[in-house]
Amino acid sequence: MTLTVTSPQETVERALELSRADATVVIAEEHSSVNLRWALGGLTTNGVTRTRSLTVIAAVDGGQGTAAGVVSRTAVTAEEIEPLVRAAEEAARQSPPAEDARPLVTDSPAAGDFAAPPAETSPAVFARLAPALGETFARARAEGRELFGFASHEVVSTYLGTSSGLRLRHDQPEGSIELNAKSPDRSRSAYVTARTADFQDVDIAALDAGLATRLRWAERRVELPPGRYETLLPPTSVADLLIYQQWSADARNAHEGRTVFSKPGGGTRVGERLADLPLSLYTDPAAPGLSCAPFQVVHASTDSLSPASSVFDNGLPLSRTDWLRDGVLTGLPTSRHTAEVTGLPVAPLGGNLLLEAGGTRSLEEMTRDTERGLLITSLWYIREVDPATLLLTGLTRDGVYLVEKGEVTGVVNNFRFNESPVDLLGRATEAGRTEICRSREWGEYFPRTAMPPLRIPDFHMSSVSPGV
């Protein structure tokens, strides 16, 4: 039997036509990706992939309310659309009424050309990077460095259609590079990662030069005990912490007294000052260099522990939302349902996160103005310890450097840290210049961030950690 592959637009329309549910949302996504991997100064693998996925959300009205069923599958052919739609309808009939049920969105600004074919990437995106990699490998070998790394580029074309009449489309290009340099005896290691939309702005020689500098810094090793140290957090590490904070900032959980954003006695801390610095944390789908879908795409309603997203909100328009303005908490993520429960405005999570404080100094300039402190490279294995304070624990990795009288004088041992990002924002004494960056811990899941470096006067290194 010959299986028929349809276009994403045809798939959306066919699924909506076949649906017998009271309300239906269909999300078709086309993924196009390429990648390069290298080790010991030579390319090892490369790949090109194309995949497609289809999500059908069926809402069925019953005597006690509206229930939703969600079914997602990959590589769906024309013959498989109807069984998928029926499976979503059956899932809805077997589900209890959805607390977050709301009428589907009917009004959303036009987004993208729904009739256009999916966008795609190709190895040509690495046209500038590949030859530069060869030159970098040669220079690293000559200077006694081993290089490892990975570069990837993906374009996801999303087609969203609903029984309420919405037809929305968005193309999201996303690229990243990770570069690790090691000494030949593997006793010293340095790492950097960067986010890019098209690799035109990636300077592999500059990234390698920065790693070479860090390896030289690590030629002198200093052992330090646990304790509280003045610490410079680079933008990537600030992103590591604030992404987790944003994921934990759900308005309903705060309203019900379960998080660091809960107000003693009831309600939320919205309106409370959290930082003395003029810090502003926000999402904006139109942010230069970090643009993302201007409407909400939700594949599954989150559970009671994190109810900020709802499948009924698919297609909801997104615009700039301030979470922190001049140090004051101004918003928490909500769905339409949790906005009603908490009395806060509707404020979906959004697809990027930016922190600004008006600073103009780079991390290097802040380092030169440090009498004695630690300079962190990156954080890793971040986990939550206490939701009531958002206390997180994690490890430093690939270089913690000692700064004395404005100069890096050596590398110190790695640490386990215990810190709350909310407390860190309140204790920060300086914020530098905001720049686009990629979180090491969460960049694969939430790649679009812009953060400044932060100076923390008393960052808590709770114990010494083995490893490079």
Chain segment 267-278, per-residue pLDDT in tens = 999 999 999 999
Average pLDDT over residues 62-87: 95
Q: At what angle do helices 78-93 and 8-18 cross, to 10 degrees?
A: 40
Angle of helix 204-217 relative to helix 129-143, nearest 10 degrees? Answer: 20
Tokens of 398: 């690939």
Residues 339-362: tens digit of each pLDDT: 999 999 999 999 999 999 999 999
Annotate 194-254 with DSSP letters as a single string: EEESSSTT--HHHHHHHHHHHHHHTTSEE---SEEEEEEEPHHHHHHHHHHHHHT--HHHH
Mean pLDDT of 28-32: 97
Strand order in the sheet with 353-356: 328-329, 321-325, 280-283, 353-356, 449-451, 435-437
Cross-strand pairs, 179: 149, 192
Q: Nearest-CA neighbor of 418 among 455, 381, 444?
A: 381
Average pLDDT over residues 153-163: 97
Per-residue model confidence (pLDDT) at position 1: 45
CB 26 within 8 Å of CB 55: yes
Given a cut of 90, whether residue 209 has pLDDT beyond it is yes
Give residue 51's pLDDT band: very low, low, confident or very high (50, 70, 90): very high
Model's pTM, two decimal places?
A: 0.95
Contact 458, 230 (CB under 8 A): yes
pLDDT band at 46 (very low <50, low <70, confident <90, very high): confident
Q: What are phi and psi of 358, to 5 degrees?
A: 80, 5
The band of 6, judged by pLDDT with boundaries at 50, 70 and 90, is confident
The predicted pLDDT at position 306 comes to: 53
Residue with the bigger pLDDT between 224 and 302: it is 224
Q: What is the pLDDT of residue 150?
A: 96
The mean per-residue pLDDT over the stretch 226-239 comes to 98
The residue among 308 and 208 whose pLDDT is bigger is: 208
pLDDT at 467: 66
Instruction: State the Cα–Cα distance between residues 1 and 79, nearest whole angstrom.
Output: 11
Tally Cβ neighbours within 10 Å of residue 443: 22
Could you tell me the pLDDT band of residue 112, with boundaries at 50, 70 and 90?
A: confident
DSSP, residue by residue, 56-109: EEEEEEETTEEEEEEEEEES--HHHHHHHHHHHHHHHHTSPPPTT--PPP----
CB under 8 Å to 80, separation ≥6 — which residues?
73
Mean pLDDT, rounded, of the chain:
94
Q: Distance (Å, rounded) from C-alpha 388 to C-alpha 370?
A: 33
Work out the pLDDT band at 319, boundaries 50, 70, 90: very high
Nearest in space to 75 (alpha carbons), one of 99, 55, 91, 51: 51
